[in-house]
Structure 1
Amino acid sequence: MRINSRQKGASAEREFAGLIADWCGVRLIRNLEQTRSGGHDLIVHPDEIGAVADAFRRLAIECKRYQTATDAQIAKWWTQALIQADDAGLIPVLAYRANRAAWRVVVPIYRINPALGTSQQIEHAATLTVEGFCLSMRETI
């Protein structure tokens, strides 16, 4: 049976959005403009209010769900996230999960500690668990 990559991507986006709702209490929805204009995958639900929801509105979240997640793939996905975030004037975030692995979230290190500079290179990014990412979103607002 052949897997439809669009359906798999949509499923991954919903899965990650559900984890964010569980850990942060913020509802994310699929960005329907992404198909037409190539934008980032998830946006904050328009009914969401509060400081944490506002912090999420500053992010361009790109989700990837693949069989494997090699360093080369992650670097390629990060470049895509950077381009999409730059186009939207937002902070890049890459959420990815390989088969039989937990979700990982890549953010520029300045998202966690602004004193560490403004580099967005993958070498200057932090890879967090979903729980760690949500903690950083709640505690750095």
Structure 2
Amino acid sequence: MAINSRAKGASAEREFAGLIHDWAGVRLIRNLEQTRSGGHDLIVHPDEVGSVADSFRLLAIESKRYQTATDAQIQKWWDQAVTQAGQAGLTPVLAYRANRLPWRVVVPILLINPQHRQSFQLNYAATLTIEGFCHVVTNSVAGVT
């Protein structure tokens, strides 16, 4: 049976958005402009208000759901996230999940500690669990772009 990659991607985006809602209380929705304009995958629902929602609005979230997640794939996905975030003037975030593994979220290290120099190279990024990512965003994102 052939897998529809577009449907799989949409399903992954909804899955990740649901987990963000569970952990951070913010509703993310699929960015319907992403196909036309090549933008990031998830945005904050327009009805969401408050500082946590505002913190999530500073992020360009790219999500990937594949059978495997090799170092080469992660590097390629991160490069895509950085490019899309740069076009939008936002901070890149890469969320990915390989089969039978939990979600992982890659963020620039400056998101965790703004004292670090701004670099969007993968070797200056941290890989977090969803719980860790939500903790960082809900507690320390304000002012980082």
TM-score between both structures, scaled by the size of structure 1? 0.99
- In the alignment, structure 1 segments of 5+ residues that lack a partner are none
The residue type equivalent to 1:75 in the other structure is Q
* Structure 2 Cα separation of the partners of residues 31 and 138 of structure 1: 21
The residue type equivalent to 2:91 in the other structure is I
Q: How many residues align?
A: 141
The residue type equivalent to 1:73 in the other structure is Q
1:99-114 residue pairs with structure 2 within 5 A? 99-114=99-114
1:1-141 residue pairs with structure 2 within 5 A? 1-140=1-140, 141=142
* Structure 2 Cα separation of the partners of residues 88 and 119 of structure 1: 17
Q: CA deviation at 1:70?
A: 0.4
Deviations 1:90-130 (A, max 9, x none): 00000000000000000000011011110110000000000
Q: CA deviation at 1:138?
A: 1.2
Q: Aligned-pair RMSD on alpha carbons? A: 0.5
Q: CA deviation at 1:14?
A: 0.1
Task: Give 3-state SS (helix, strand or coil) of 1:115's partner.
Answer: coil
* Structure 1 Cα separation of the partners of residues 61 and 138 of structure 2: 17
* Structure 2 Cα separation of the partners of residues 136 and 50 of structure 1: 16
Percentage of pairs with the same residue: 74
The residue type equivalent to 2:39 in the other structure is G
TM-score between both structures, scaled by the size of structure 2? 0.96
* Structure 2 Cα separation of the partners of residues 66 and 74 of structure 1: 11
- In the alignment, structure 2 segments of 5+ residues that lack a partner are none
* Structure 1 Cα separation of the partners of residues 14 and 62 of structure 2: 12
The residue type equivalent to 1:14 in the other structure is R
Q: CA deviation at 1:139?
A: 1.2
